[in-house]
């Protein structure tokens, strides 16, 4: 997500202001000091002067309706404010921060671009959006968990109209401007949270070789938000579901999560949260689900941030997780798919029912499954290779994973190209170069 160049500020003298190079807070402090010393009043080029010019009263005597916005809401509300500006020629655009021009943010949605105001004020005269004069402000919160705020200012006698306009803007944004709803989103790792549209790539169930019991448990979990959702609501049992995928690296935990997410995307919004992001923005991610729902939240490598308190683990991620999954903060229609290489490292409170309702252990494939996985990889060649996959699987060491088998095939292709045979694959397995050797010694 990138920010477009801001519109040029109004009423700026040629050559700029001597304060232009200063940070906004410094500029404002110097400006106020100058006003106190000279008795001058800020003009309409300042945020306060713009409000006073269009509402006819000192801004300190006005009423202000304010709503904190999530990242999703800030984009959709910005689109509604842009529509108000376009629909009413009498509307006037102005600053929301002193010395800062109104700013638009550009959103990339699968090659299509949407540009919405992210920091701007719009004066709407009586008879446009409402029957009274109002000023609508969108303001960015650079160092706050809530990325933005919507504010509507009006004269005290018009407070009810300001409140009604806020409600109308929020309702329109949710109903008509859900740009992110149904998409696959990646959570950024810094506050304030930003969600970036992304993709999960190709692949389906046919690309995974897993026991039928695993698919049955996955389908039971997804039914809580699909085929069984209505009866669960009627019984007051809730539709949220948490599934923890556990197993050593390379057994397909991430691949399984992505297949499930890929199947549900469109009807559901998918939010992918890696370990770096979850350690700082987990609570904000779940707050987004209120506007994006129903949702699938994919949490990767949860053992890195949901460690056992008894082992000395610290940080806010564990507290945030307990709060959002069956805790003090209530969310609905959310399927959480999490993965871990080390379930024993998780705090006991994490895995209790109603947080992670199902724990699915993925073991390394047996010989039969290894042969099937090899068949899947080799079947992608244009020519049908003459390979006895059962014979190859029979000489593999115990504990090989799907990732190991992929590397066996990759190594065979690197050595022999398309000319693959049973003998050549057996030779690749025997030489062991597909296995990473453990590092030993000291390196400078």
The pLDDT tens digits along the chain (444 residues) read: 443 443 333 443 344 444 455 555 555 455 545 544 544 444 457 899 999 999 999 989 999 999 999 999 999 999 999 999 999 999 999 999 888 899 999 888 877 888 999 999 999 999 999 999 999 999 988 767 778 999 999 999 999 999 999 999 999 999 999 999 999 999 998 888 889 999 888 889 999 999 999 999 999 999 999 999 999 999 999 899 999 999 999 999 999 999 999 999 999 999 999 998 988 899 999 999 999 989 999 999 999 888 877 766 556 788 888 888 876 778 889 999 999 999 888 888 887 766 788 999 999 999 999 999 999 999 988 777 889 999 999 999 999 999 999 999 999 999 999 999 999 999 999 999 998 776 566 554
* Backbone angles phi and psi of 62, in degrees to 5: -95, 165
Q: What is the model's pTM?
A: 0.82
CA-wise closest residue to 194 among 161, 237, 146, 155:
146
> Which pair of tokens denotes residue 276?
């770096």
The structural domains of the chain, with segments of one domain joined by +, span: 2-176, 184-361, 367-431
Arch. (CATH architecture) of 367-431: Orthogonal Bundle (1.10)
184-361, what's its fold? Rossmann fold (3.40.50)
């Amino acid at each position: 997500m990138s920010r477009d160049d801001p519109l040029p500020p109004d009423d700026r003298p040629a050559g700029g202001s001597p304060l232009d190079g200063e940070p906004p807070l410094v500029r404002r402090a110097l400006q106020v000091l100058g006003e106190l010393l000279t008795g001058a009043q800020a003009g309409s080029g300042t945020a306060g002067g713009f409000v006073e010019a269009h509402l006819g009263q000192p801004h300190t005597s006005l009423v202000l309706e304010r709503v904190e916005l999530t990242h999703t809401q800030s984009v959709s509300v910005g689109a509604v404010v842009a529509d108000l500006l376009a629909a009413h020629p009498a509307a006037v655009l102005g600053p929301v921060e002193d010395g800062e021009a109104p700013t638009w943010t550009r959103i990339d949605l699968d090659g299509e671009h949407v540009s919405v105001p992210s920091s701007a004020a719009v004066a709407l005269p009586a008879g446009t959006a409402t029957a009274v004069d109002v000023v609508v402000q969108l303001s960015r919160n650079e160092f706050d968990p809530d990325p933005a705020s919507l504010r509507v200012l009006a004269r005290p006698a018009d407070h009810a109209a300001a409140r009604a306009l806020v409600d109308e803007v929020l309702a329109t944004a949710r109903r008509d401007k859900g740009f992110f709803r149904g998409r696959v989103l990646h959570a950024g790792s810094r506050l304030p949270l930003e969600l970036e549209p992304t993709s999960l790539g190709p692949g389906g169930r046919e690309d995974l070789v897993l026991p039928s019991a695993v698919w049955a448990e996955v389908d039971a979990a997804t039914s809580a938000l699909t085929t069984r959702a209505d009866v669960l609501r009627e019984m007051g049992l809730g539709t949220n579901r948490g599934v923890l995928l556990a197993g050593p690296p390379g057994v397909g935990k991430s691949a399984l999560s992505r297949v499930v997410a890929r199947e549900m995307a469109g009807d559901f919004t998918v939010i992918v949260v890696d370990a770096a992001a979850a350690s700082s923005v987990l609570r904000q991610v779940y707050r987004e689900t209120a506007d994006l729902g129903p949702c699938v939240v994919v949490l990767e490598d949860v053992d890195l941030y949901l460690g056992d308190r008894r082992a000395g683990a610290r940080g806010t991620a564990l507290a945030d997780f307990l709060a959002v999954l069956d805790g003090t903060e209530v969310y609905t229609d959310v399927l959480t798919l999490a993965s871990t290489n080390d379930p024993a490292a998780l705090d006991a409170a994490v895995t209790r029912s109603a947080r992670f309702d199902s724990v699915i252990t993925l073991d390394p494939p047996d010989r039969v499954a290894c042969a099937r996985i090899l068949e899947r990889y080799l079947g992608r060649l244009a020519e049908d290779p003459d390979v006895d996959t059962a014979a190859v699987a029979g000489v593999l060491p115990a504990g090989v994973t799907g990732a190991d088998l992929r590397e066996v095939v990759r190594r065979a292709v690197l050595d022999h190209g398309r000319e693959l045979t049973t003998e050549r694959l057996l030779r690749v397995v025997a030489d062991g170069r597909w296995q990473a050797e453990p590092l030993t010694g000291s390196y400078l």
